[in-house]
Chains A and B, each alone.
Chain A
Amino acid sequence: MQLHPRFFGRNLRENIVSKLMKDVEGTCSGRHGFVVAITGIENIGKGLIRDGTGFVTFPVKYQCVVFRPFKGEILEAVVTMVNKMGFFAEAGPVQIFVSNHLIPDDMEFQSGDMPNYTTSDGSVKIQKDSEVRLKIIGTRVDATEIFCIGTIKDDFLGVINDPANA
């Protein structure tokens, strides 16, 4: 954690913590996933003055809540876009794509101004803003984003709350 000298003084510790929160919360690291919230500071080490700038680097150990989906995990997500290739859903910051190979065969794509996947009897419908329960079958964690591939072609997966019927 690099800090400008103007933050030094009585509130040094508070300043370090608030800067840490500002810088880290909401970011994504490839190793740990999304940092949701910092829960505690373990220790703040000795500062090291950078040559020439006056900035001081403090090593900070902290605990935080992270979110990182794993392969095989069951997630609940909100559908953001439906098209003929499948649908995209979001679980917090995670982007999930469910291709139409992984949507049950009895669900068919219906185009129109509200594209959706519907069963032949019309009882189940997946459209924008539907909530679905899906299984993650692949993840990729970038520096800033997490992409997932999901499936709803399994028992107990699919729509859990349809805004159209609510």
Chain B
Amino acid sequence: MVTDSPVHSSSSEDFAAFLDVELDSKSSGSSSNAEKAGNEHHSDSVASSSPDEEEAEDDDSELENKRVKRSKVETAEIVEDDRGATSIASLEQNSKASSSKEICTHPGSFGTMCIVCGKMLDEESGVTFGYIHKGLRLGNDEIVRLRNTDIKNLLCHKKLYLILDLDHTLLNSTQLMHMTPDEEYLKSQTDSLQDVSKGSLFMLSFMHMMTKLRPFVRTFLKEASQMFEMYIYTMGDRAYALEMAKLLDPGREYFNAKVISRDDGTQRHQKGLDVVLGQESAVLILDDTENAWMKHKDNLILMERYHFFASSCHQFGFNCKSLSELKSDENESEGALASILKVLRKIHHIFFEESEENLEGRDVRQVLKTVRKDVLEGCKIVFSRVFPTQFPADNHHLWRMAEQLGATCSTELDTSVTHVVSKDAGTEKSRWALKHNKFLVHPGWIEATNYFWQKQPEESFSVNQTKNE
């Protein structure tokens, strides 16, 4: 039986017939039925037809059900027989299809191996994601795919992306050696590094640095994390960025593997959203440097710079006393972060509650634009002695800033003008403003309005007063 196959096949035929007889007489359960069906499968259709006849004679109603099953098996078998040749062909096709599936598109790599098939890849393609894990690279198609799946997930949770800058936005750091004598007192006031969640002034002696967190930053992060998935994106190096992330987020709740430093960027001196796994239409950026985000200005919310230490003031060319030297600080409840948080809330609300379009079609950049346009709605501004005479007025950054804030700008004076912006109270236009009881404000008024997203009280920016500052 083992030695030659013909004997084997005939014996199995016999065995099937034998089984059928046995089973028919015994009115078997379903399990043995299945076993028999399996046996039948091996035998050819001629063999299986004979027990069927046998069974037809049998008029036991209990077997009715079984017979139906059997005939099903049989038809399936016949079909298989008929298509014997074609099924082999289709099998071949299948194997071809599966082999073509095996030709992997290499969507990304980890330590130069493809993340899907494990093959070694020769060329380094795609964008590095070193901030997530060392040695990880992803191809563009994969990034698009991840963004698409992620955005759906995120919108379900009513969240958007928020990218935060560190220096001058959330905190201010200085080298210890750059501290002025007036700041020496700070060294005795530092908070302990054991429990960073409460403090705001830290001495990182191993990095030779002192860091001051911006007032309100903890509340800000807590509130913003409800509405946004947050990233840190800084021009500092990796070690610094991670250290700051530890101070800001001791519980590692917000920025887990989402700290991007200059080592991760794809372009020098530029920040780009290409390393962020978020759809551009859902990203908001909070940064104090507009020039770093040349390609993504529409996503940017410009922050007023936070200068706590004297060295940071000098770096940006201010000769005034720093906050640290004056022993003061930004107002906690009315500072820049608090007012930006309000803006963020508003944008989030409009995006999710008021927009008519379906979720996927919405664009946070549009929302940002409309919110910005509301700020100086209805103001008509005339500039006086702000731009150089030969300078095309409508190209000046203040002009454009005012227009983005929703104001109309003009070069001619008429009764509809509401504000005259001037550095000098002595110009013709300034005198006209005083005479006709219009607001005469310093250019700083527009800048402050731009930072706080709220029309600032004109009185505190009157021209004479700002001169003294």
Please report A residues at the B interface, Cβ cutoff 8 Å: 71, 81, 83-86, 88, 95, 97, 99, 101-102, 109-111, 113, 115, 136-140, 142, 145, 147-149
Assess whether B154 is in contact with A115, with CB atoms less than 8 Å apart: no
User: In whole Å, how far is B429's beta carbon from the nearest beta carbon of chain A?
Assistant: 54
Assess whether A149 is in contact with B110, with CB atoms less than 8 Å apart: yes
Q: Is B83's beta carbon under 8 Å from chain A? A: no
Assess whether A111 is in contact with B115, with CB atoms less than 8 Å apart: no
Assess whether B117 is in contact with A138, with CB atoms less than 8 Å apart: yes
Interface SS of A by simple majority = strand
Assess whether B150 is in contact with A88, with CB atoms less than 8 Å apart: no
B: number of interface residues (CB 8 Å): 32
A145 to B153, CA, bound (A): 35
Closest to A110 in B: B153
Assess whether A113 is in contact with B115, with CB atoms less than 8 Å apart: no
Assess whether B113 is in contact with A149, with CB atoms less than 8 Å apart: yes
Please give me the 8 A-B residue pairs with the lowest Cβ-Cβ distance, nearest first. Answer: A138-B118, A147-B111, A137-B118, A99-B115, A97-B110, A149-B118, A138-B113, A113-B253
A20 to B197, CA, bound (A): 45
Interface SS of B by simple majority = loop
Assess whether A86 is in contact with B153, with CB atoms less than 8 Å apart: no
Closest to A136 in B: B118
Q: Is B157's beta carbon under 8 Å from chain A? A: yes
A142 to B112, CA, bound (A): 11
Selected from B115, B118, B256, the residue in CB contact (under 8 A) with A71 is B118
A72 to B19, CA, bound (A): 43
A99 to B138, CA, bound (A): 11
A148 to B114, CA, bound (A): 10
Assess whether A101 is in contact with B107, with CB atoms less than 8 Å apart: yes
- In B94-126, the 8 Å CB interface with A consists of 107-108, 110-120
Selected from A83, A95, A109, A147, the residue in CB contact (under 8 A) with B132 is A83
| Residues in A whose Cβ lies below 8 Å from that of B107 | 99, 101
> Known interface pairs A102-B116, A137-B118, A147-B135. Does A109 touch B153 (Cβ–Cβ under 8 Å)?
yes
Assess whether A81 is in contact with B133, with CB atoms less than 8 Å apart: yes
A102 to B120, CA, bound (A): 17
A145 to B120, CA, bound (A): 16
Can you offer 29 A-B residue contacts whose CB atoms are under 8 A? A71-B118, A81-B132, A81-B256, A81-B257, A84-B146, A84-B150, A84-B277, A85-B146, A85-B277, A95-B134, A99-B107, A99-B116, A101-B107, A102-B115, A102-B116, A109-B153, A110-B153, A111-B157, A113-B254, A137-B118, A138-B119, A139-B113, A140-B111, A145-B111, A147-B111, A147-B113, A147-B135, A149-B115, A149-B118
